[in-house]
Every structure is written in C-alpha cells, then in structure tokens.
Amino acid sequence: MKITFSPAGLGTTPFLVIGSGIAGLYTALKLAEIANVTLITKEALEESNTSYAQGGIAVALSPADSPDLHYTDTIQAGAGLCLPPAVATLVHEGPERVQELIAWGVPFDADAGTLLMTREAAHSFPRVLHADGDASGREITKVLAQRVAGHPRITVKENHYAVALLTGEEGCYGAMVLDENGTRTSILAEATILATGGSGQIFTDTTNPAVATGDGLALAYLAGAPLADLEFVQFHPTALHLEGAPCFLITEAVRGEGGILRNQRGVRFMPSYHEQAELAPRDVVARSVWSEMEKTGTDHVYLDLSLLSTELIKSRFPNIYETCLSYGLDITKAPIPVAPAAHYMMGGIAIDLHGRTALPRLFACGEVANSGVHGANRLASNSLLDGLVFGYRIFRYLQNSPWQRPDLPPELAAVFPTETSPELLAADRSALKELASTHLGIIRREDALQNAQRQVAPASSATPIPLNRPYLELQNMRLLVRLMLDAALSRRESRGSHYRADYPDPDPAWAKRIVLSPTGVSFIPADQPFSWSW
C-alpha cells in the first residue's frame, strides 16, 4: 500500500539514523562531528542485538597477527562468496576503529595492560577482544549509548518505530515513524542511515532479542533498494537448550577456551566432521550438531566444559555461568545442553564500499546491510567490526562529498507491506516462525521450500492496513520470509550456511549473488562490487 503527501512545512534534520546497535550508535557519533543527528530506535537506546553479543570483536591488533591473516580467514569462512575489497576494507580499517573504541573507554579485558584475545572458530589466530568476559556487546553498548545520550548534536528518540521510508524524485528523504504514543509523524532528513540490525525473530529458536524483526530490510526493499544474499542465515551451533530457560547464546569462545561437543551417548563427534573439530567454521559445526541430533533422535547435544577450570569458567564466562545457574544448571559441574539457533542474517541491503544503497541518500550499515563482507558464512566476531568499519565509511563519504541539501519534492511517498490481510493476521506470528524454522532452517529442500512459498504468497486485500507496530512487524517478517524462500529456492547448490539436501554440493557456477528488488531478481558475480551512479 502506498500513500503520498506533501512535505511542505515539515522541518529537516541533516542526518537520520535508524537503529541503536553498534552500527547505529557509532555512526551517529561520527556523523555528529559533521552536523546534527536524529537517532530513532524502536525501544530503549541499549536494546539491540549488539547488547547480547558475547564473544567479542575480531581484529588484528596483536603484533604477531596481521590484517592479511584476518583477511584469509574471513575469505575462507565465506565459502567463495565474500567480496574481496569489502573484506580488505574490514580487516585493514578495523584496527583503527577498535582503537577508537578503546580511546572512548570501552573496557576490553586486559592483563597488566595487555589486551586479552581469544581464538574462535575458523580463526587462525587468537584475535577476539572481549569485555567483562562474555558481556562484550553489553559493555560496548554502554559506552556508546552513554556518549550518544549526552551528545549535544544528537537527538535520541526512543520507542520510535520506523514504518516506511519516505521517497521522492531524488531518492530517500527520511522516514515515517510511529512515536511513543503510536502517533504517526514524519522525520525528513538529508541523509538516512538504516542500522536496524537483524531478523532472527522470524525463527522459533533464535539468540536475537524481540526487536530483531528485520524491519530495515523490508523498509529498504519496499522503497526500491535491492537486497542480496537473503538465503544465507547463520545458525549458531550452541544456544542453551534447557527446559524453562530462554534460547540463550553460549558463545563460541567457550569452545575457543577448550569446550568439547558431545552427543547424547557422550561421544565427541566434531573430529569426525572436520579437521578443526569444535573450531570448524560455524556452518559446519551447526550442521554437524544437527546431524548428531538426528542420528540420536534428540533435540540437543552437550557442551562439555570439564577441561576448563572452575575459576576460568567463572571469570571468563560470568554471564553464562550466572544465567545457567539461575535455571538450576551449574556449568562448573555439568555439561550444557545446547542446540543450534538462528543467530545472524548474512543477507542484507546491498551497499557499496561507502555504505550507499541503490536509493540515493539512503545508507545502511551493520547487520541490516550487505557489503559482501561475510559471504555465505560470517567468520565469528566479525559482525561488530563490520558495524564500525562501514559506519565510519558512511561518515567519511558524507564528510568528503560535496553533499547537497536536497530540495524537497512537492510530494513524498511511503510504501507499506501488504503481505496478508488484517483479518487473517491474528494468530500468524507463531505460524510464520514455525514455517520459517521448518523450511528455511539448517537443511532445506525444493518441495518444502515451494510448499512454504505457497503459504506466504502476498495478499491483495482491499482492507486498509492498521498502522501499528505488531501488525507492521509481522508484515515485515512475512515479506522477508517470502524473499528468503525465493532466494533459497533459486540457489540450487549447497554453500556456507545454505544447505540444500537435494543439491548437497557447492557448484562453481553459483559463485554469484542473488539480488532481489521489487522490479525482479538479478545475479551478479561474487567478485563484483555493488556500485551505484549517485
């Protein structure tokens, strides 16, 4: 559904940032060096996927490490679909960005002034910085959120939900928003930055918080900006699977410190799947765990911490220790029951190396964006770095380009998703999650994908759609599931996190990206950067 209106009389903010994970907070702080920023976020400033990140931030800071090694590891994990210049940007610019966080006061764990670094899966070197043991995301968020909240050039609007991007002759002019009272308002901006994060909530089991409903992807798509790589969803191999407890992340760093995966019979299984055993790439470990669960007819495996001392468990993983204890599990004494859960969306809004989307004046960074940096399988702890590096790239682009304040067009448009009719929607959220989990999970098949596709065909209801957050979130999720099904059906091979039981091998002919936009599907070679003419 499209509505149009005249923007006459509405004020304009130079920069509008939507989202408050690491990408949104950091980009807002950098842009405030140039001009005023309005940052909107759908709940509290500190509520985002970033806040729940445990492992930390991968960066080649150790003198014995190098960005080139980090580059090689990232490319290898990405299963032939990483974009080399994007990865080079990430690993070479990453160290300076992380030094900036340190200068701003992020308390990364250190011993006598030397930063402590952990090795995580598919890294050839221990390069993951962490904070308060396993509360890295929370600690980073605290520092950034505090700086944002106290910044004289940043206006923060919590509990503001973006419902559509505003478009006109020259691209994007901001967003239509529901404020804390559910009242519709428009925020006009010279540049709009989407940093809305992930979409794990479309699955039943996810490590993501309730806010991760993929809104930014839907907003961008409906406004005309293409999305890429939507078939690639990363399932984390080890989420807590304990009766009565939430689906809580058990960081890969636990395996980095010596945790061992065992099946129901107590047998260590990872060495029979991959030479790097528990530290194989994440997609490999997730599929192996899944396969062991199938073989033994159970819904979990165990993460055995018996090689880790009690002292190490309590000091390195205080958050996991306390959380498990609160559900009656003492992990210094018993193994942790774990199962895979949806964790990270590799696909996203296609951006170039400046964070520009195809829609003029619309930028994106963080999990919602796709620069090609993660390929078909993101390397552990590269996501926080991605948010910083590409957020900075947006800042630098806007700082250096002869940025023209746009003349407001006589008419602006906002497009809303109409995936299903309001009458049919009532009990749809859990049904949608079931459908995505069953058909778009770790193992996929053509007939099941087609079956699911029939169930989420878009509606053509004439009934006006209600503009409220629960309804629009579900519409966004439903649109996203439909697009993910299209992409998963198209890719007739297995690569990275996308595993097709009916096409179990990688096919070199598929070294290309699937790009979806309202005008259709296109395929671009994996080594070809996105580039736009604006």
Which of residues 186 and 196 has its CB atom nearest to ligand SIN in the complex? 196
Draw the binding track, 324-353, toward ligand SIN (x: CB under 6 A; -: no contact). -------------------xx---------
| DSSP state letter for 105 | T
**Under the criterion CB under 6 A, does residue 55 sit at the interface with ligand SIN?**
yes
- C-alpha pair distances (Å), 515 with each of 89, 226, 386, 391, 400: 22, 6, 20, 22, 29
Q: With contacts defined by CB under 6 A, name the span among 15-23, 88-96, 246-254, 313-321 that binds ligand SIN.
A: 246-254
Which of residues 137 and 226 has its CB atom nearest to ligand SIN in the complex? 137
Sequential DSSP letters for 213-249: S-HHHHHHHHHT--EE-TT-EEEEEEEE--TTS---B
| DSSP state letter for 391 | H
> Whose CB is nearest to ligand SIN?
55
Find the shortest distance in angstroms from Cβ 474 to ligand SIN: 26
Find the shortest distance in angstroms from Cβ 252 to ligand SIN: 3
Which of residues 94 and 171 has its CB atom nearest to ligand SIN in the complex? 94
Report the alpha-carbon distance of residue 300 to residue 510 in Å, rounded: 33
Location of structure tokens 């004439």:
462
Number of residues binding to ligand SIN, judged by CB under 6 A: 11
Find the shortest distance in angstroms from Cβ 121 to ligand SIN: 8
Which of residues 251 and 494 has its CB atom nearest to ligand SIN in the complex? 251
**Under the criterion CB under 6 A, does residue 94 sit at the interface with ligand SIN?**
no
Q: Which residues on neighbouring strands pair with residue 156, listed in sequence order?
A: 39
Give the CA dihedral 236, 240, 246, 249, nearest 10 degrees. Answer: -40
Q: Which residues contact 63 (CB under 8 A, 6 or more apart)?
A: none
Which of residues 255 and 500 has its CB atom nearest to ligand SIN in the complex? 255
* Element counts in the chain: helices (H) and strands (E): 13, 23
- Per the document, the length of the chain is 534
**Under the criterion CB under 6 A, does residue 129 sit at the interface with ligand SIN?**
no
Find the shortest distance in angstroms from Cβ 115 to ligand SIN: 17
Find the shortest distance in angstroms from Cβ 299 to ligand SIN: 20
**Under the criterion CB under 6 A, does residue 109 sit at the interface with ligand SIN?**
no
| DSSP state letter for 468 | -
Answer yes or no: 268 catalytic. Answer: no
What does the H/E/C string look like for 502-515? CECCCCHHHCEEEE
Catalytic-labelled residue, pool 97, 119, 127, 282:
282
Location of structure tokens 């736009």:
532
Closest-CA residue to 198 (of 236, 171, 146): 236
Draw the binding track, 464-503, toward ligand SIN (x: CB under 6 A; -: no contact). ----------------------------------------
Which of residues 22 and 465 has its CB atom nearest to ligand SIN in the complex? 22
Which of residues 167 and 288 has its CB atom nearest to ligand SIN in the complex? 288
Q: With contacts defined by CB under 6 A, name the span among 22-30, 52-60, 148-156, 302-310 that binds ligand SIN.
A: 52-60
Draw the binding track, 298-327, toward ligand SIN (x: CB under 6 A; -: no contact). ------------------------------
Find the shortest distance in angstroms from Cβ 511 to ligand SIN: 24
Sequential DSSP letters for 393-446: HHHHHHHHS-PPPPPPPS-EEEE---SS-GGG-TTHHHHHHHHHHHHSSSSB-H
Find the shortest distance in angstroms from Cβ 382 to ligand SIN: 6
What does the H/E/C string look like for 271-302? HHCCCCHHHCCHHHHHHHHHHHHHHHCCCCEE
The side-by-side arrangement of strands in the sheet containing 301-304 is: 233-240, 336-345, 301-304, 260-262
Q: Contact, 372 vs 350, CB < 8 A?
A: no
Which of residues 381 and 418 has its CB atom nearest to ligand SIN in the complex? 381
Find the shortest distance in angstroms from Cβ 196 to ligand SIN: 18
Find the shortest distance in angstroms from Cβ 54 to ligand SIN: 4
Neighbours of 346 (CB within 10 A): 26
- The CA-to-CA distance between both ends of the chain, in Å, stands at 27
Q: Contact, 41 vs 209, CB < 8 A?
A: no
Q: With contacts defined by CB under 6 A, name the span among 13-21, 47-55, 415-423, 486-494 that binds ligand SIN.
A: 47-55
Residue numbers 249-268 binding ligand SIN by CB under 6 A: 251-253
Residue numbers 359-398 binding ligand SIN by CB under 6 A: 380-381, 383
Which of residues 367 and 473 has its CB atom nearest to ligand SIN in the complex? 367
Report the alpha-carbon distance of residue 306 to residue 99 in Å, rounded: 35
Q: Contact, 15 vs 395, CB < 8 A?
A: no
Q: With contacts defined by CB under 6 A, name the span among 48-56, 92-100, 223-231, 283-291 that binds ligand SIN.
A: 48-56
Give the CA dihedral 466, 19, 458, 180, nearest 10 degrees. Answer: -10
Which of residues 41 and 54 has its CB atom nearest to ligand SIN in the complex? 54
Residue numbers 135-174 binding ligand SIN by CB under 6 A: none
**Under the criterion CB under 6 A, does residue 54 sit at the interface with ligand SIN?**
yes
Find the shortest distance in angstroms from Cβ 242 to ligand SIN: 18
Which chain residues interact with ligand SIN by CB under 6 A? 53-55, 251-253, 343-344, 380-381, 383
State the catalytic residues.
282
